[in-house]
Structure 1
Amino acid sequence: MHVFVDMVLDAYLESVDAQAPGLVEGLYLGGSVAFDDFRPRASDIDFLAVTARPLDGAELTALADVHERLQRRFRRPCLDGVYLTWSDLAAGPTAAAERPVCYGGRLEYERPSSVTPMLWHTVARHGIARRGPEPGRIDIWTDSDALVRWCARNLDEFWARGLDAALAHPLGRPGLCLLTDMGIGWLVTGMARHHRIISTGEVISKQDATRQALHAFPGRWRRIIKEALRIHAGSAGRSLYSGRLARRRDALAFGRMILERAHHTGESRTPRTLMTGRRDG
């Protein structure tokens, strides 16, 4: 585990145990840390903390103070995650929609985008236990069809809107973001992973999904995929593009291609589940 991750987690557990002894019974890591794909300048530390019961007002106040102090001490990486009960882990994200989440150092109560099938699947299949039993020894909800449905919906409701905004307003925030290395790496690796999950029903790291994309898609996409991998790896090497506008055009076209292929792949894989969210009885 990266030394920065260890430092943040040690500080978090020391603080939370001092403020609310015995409250956090389990602490599990997902995201890039779980996939050994953590990048100090770009990654967050995704966590899932487990308590015996839903948190009361005094406990929420204590946790908010813990996270605010931690954010002041460690500006990066951010410790982002959700507080669940053991029964929430077994029941799945729908049952935990109103649980408190930490995002950007602040404790929040209405951020459903943080409580997703991706988190449950990552912890169940790849999670790292910092406190509590190993993931394989506890009951953690998984449902590959629900994961695929979520990825398909996220592509339509988040990624497609971002692409539309960048195309319609190239000087707006989404368009300008894609003139940066971070924006290119984020879009290409994130959308490549969604496509891979829809194809297989299994969670995979952004890096591995993007590497596989080199062989999964036609040759015209190789340059933008390699550029995203260069950025994701933190390489200081020279860009594969001579200009940022051409790179942005390729990234936007790649994103559109992913949307089209993901819909085709997903509908072929589980059409009624994806389109209606139901199974025939």
Structure 2
Amino acid sequence: MLPADVERATGRYLAVADRLLPGRIAGFYVVGSVALGAWRADRSDIDFIAVVEGDLPPRRLRALHALGNLTAAGRAVRRVDPAIPGTVNGAFIAVDDLGLPVTTIRPLGSHSGWTVKLGRGFEVNPVVWKVLRDSGVAVRGPEPALLGLDPEPGRLREWNLGQLRGHWRGWGEGLASGSVRRANPGRVLGPPRLHHTVVTGEVISKEAAAEYALDTFGSRWEPLMRAALAHRDGMPVAFAGLLRAAGEFTLEVLAEAESRSTVD
């Protein structure tokens, strides 16, 4: 069952999709925090994977992103919130590509926040495909277990290590050196989520990542985790004094993950 707010939002979005792309959205699956049981009203986005029959005209995709998210965008404008919580974000793939190994699928397009991308979609990756297969919610179409998905479990660990080595290393180094002077407190939950998947092969929510971080890396990071969770709850957080700590924590997570990779 979907939370009532999620059901309403996806219903509005699909109603717009069916007007702009009649008969083309053959499947619509909710993933992300909703599928992981960690969705929060007025704080979380609604992530999806859509299966498309036929083409996906760029102008129609842009119109769908704008019109399908009018309610969330209106709330964000009234609250002066650039993150647009409640946005229905996701990627579109061709129905004929459903059974392909996920890293070989080229999305038709995607949108997230204010951004629309054509022929690209970060969400089409081993982590999201695992969540889709294991706990995705079918709003339209067969249950995920019947889709013949290939999340490439053998590549899951290396894919997460690649994310830590790339994007997250740069972010951590910028914070630790002081060259990055502003950051979203909730982002510090990203590296321990990836680390957990590297170690266990399972995907956890951001909230669960905070507990995992303390269990794995020690209580000295508790102020950082408290700040991240408070931000997730919509509470004001004084994060400037924790920026360097966030960078150091991120680099420690990466180093520990790398050490496991070397041993293995």
The normalised TM-score by structure 1 is 0.80
Retained in 2: the 8 A contact 1:167–1:175?
no
Shift of 1:221: 2.3
Letter in 2 for 1:126: S
CA RMSD of aligned residues (A): 2.3
- Structure 2 CA distance, aligned partners of 1:43 and 1:184? 15
Instruction: Quote the offset at 1:89 in angstroms.
Output: 2.5
The alpha-carbon distance between structure 1 residues 228 and 103, as it changes in their structure 2 partners (threshold 3 A), is closer
The answer (yes or no) to whether the contact 1:117–1:146 under 8 Å persists in 2 is: yes
Where in structure 1 are there 5+ consecutive unaligned residues? Answer: 178-182, 270-281
* Paired letter, 2:171: G
Q: Distance in 2 between matches of 1:107 and 1:218?
A: 39
- Measured in 1, the distance between the counterparts of 2:42 and 2:164 equals 25
Unaligned runs of 5+ residues in structure 2 are 74-83
Structure 2 residue aligned with 1:4? 5
Q: CA deviation at 1:21?
A: 2.1
Q: Please point out which of 95, 110, 113 is paired with 1:104.
A: 113
1:254 Cα offset (Å): 1.1
Whole-angstrom CA distance in 2 between matches of 1:160 and 1:106: 24
In structure 2, give the amino acid aligned to 1:129: A
Question: SS of the counterpart of 1:39?
Answer: coil
Q: C-alpha separation between the residues in 2 aligned to 1:101 and 1:10?
A: 18
8 A contact 1:101–1:109 mirrored in 2: yes
1:80-112 deviations in Å (ceiling 9; x for gaps): 111112332321333223521122255421545
Aligned pair partner of 1:89 in 79, 94, 98 = 98
Contact persistence 2:93–2:106 (CA under 8 A): no
Whole-angstrom distance in 2 between the partners of 1:119 and 1:89: 13
- Structure 1 residue identity aligned to 2:216: A
Question: Within 2, Cα distance between the matches of 1:56 and 1:113?
Answer: 17
Q: In structure 2, which of residues 170, 177, 181 is the aligned counterpart of residue 175 of structure 1? A: 181
SS at match of 1:142: coil
| Aligned-partner Cα distance in 1 for 2:135–2:150 | 14
Other-structure match for 2:81: none
Give the AA of the match of 2:132.
Answer: V
2:26 partner amino acid: E
Say yes or no: does 1:49 pair with 2:44.
Answer: no
**CA–CA separation in structure 1 for the residues paired with 2:64 and 2:166:** 33
Deviations 1:204-251 (A, max 9, x none): 212122212222222322332233233334457xx6xxx644322322
Q: Matches of residues 57-136 of structure 1 in structure 2 within 5 Å?
A: 57=57, 60-75=58-73, 76=84, 77-136=86-145
Distance 2:231 2:116 in 1: 31
Identity across matched positions, percent: 27
TM-score (norm 2): 0.85
Which residue is equivalent to 2:21? 20
1:279 corresponds to: none
